[in-house]
């Protein structure tokens, strides 16, 4: 494992603060305050990292971790919390605008068609 468990937990805590704007002293505090904003799988992975980082401070427990499971949990958290780039953010905003505009046009056309049918013009 190239990173220690504490470094992984700190990185996830930084990403939570940057992406979700959640304040707190460590990963556990940030999970208590902003855990509801995370999907279940990401929340479970972040909780595993938080518990592992706390237990890693105890020398007797340090050897009982599954490095593969912790690395997978870290990857899951980082993949979700990694901030979008400017291009992806702009693309997402444009797609959101176009889909809402299309929904408004369809709803308006359906309303106008319904009124025309109701009044006997169609």
Question: Are 49 and 70 a contacting pair, CB within 8 Å?
Answer: yes
- What DSSP letter does each residue of 105-122 carry, written as one string? HHHHHHHHHHHHHHHT--
Q: pLDDT truncated to tens, each residue of the chain (122 aa)? A: 457 888 999 999 999 988 888 888 889 999 999 889 899 999 999 999 999 988 888 877 767 778 899 999 999 999 998 876 778 878 988 999 999 999 999 999 999 999 999 999 88
- Non-local CB neighbours of 61 within 8 Å, separated by 6+ positions: 55
User: What residues does each domain of the chain span?
Assistant: 1-83, 84-122
The answer to whether the pTM exceeds 0.75 is no
* Distance of alpha carbon 20 from alpha carbon 30, whole angstroms: 10
3-state secondary structure of 22: coil
* Distance of alpha carbon 39 from alpha carbon 79, whole angstroms: 12
For residue 50, what are its two tokens?
A: 């938080």
């Amino acid at each position: 494992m190239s990173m220690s468990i504490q470094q992984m937990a700190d990185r996830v805590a930084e990403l939570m603060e940057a992406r979700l704007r959640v304040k707190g002293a460590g990963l556990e505090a940030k999970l208590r305050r902003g855990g509801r904003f995370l999907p279940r799988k990401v929340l479970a992975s972040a909780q595993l990292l938080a518990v592992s980082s706390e237990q890693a401070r105890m020398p007797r427990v340090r050897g009982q971790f599954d490095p593969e499971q912790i690395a997978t949990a870290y990857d899951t958290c980082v993949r979700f919390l990694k901030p979008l780039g400017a291009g992806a953010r702009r693309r997402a905003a444009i797609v959101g605008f176009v889909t809402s505009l299309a929904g408004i046009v369809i709803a308006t056309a359906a309303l106008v068609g319904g009124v025309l049918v109701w009044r006997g013009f169609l």
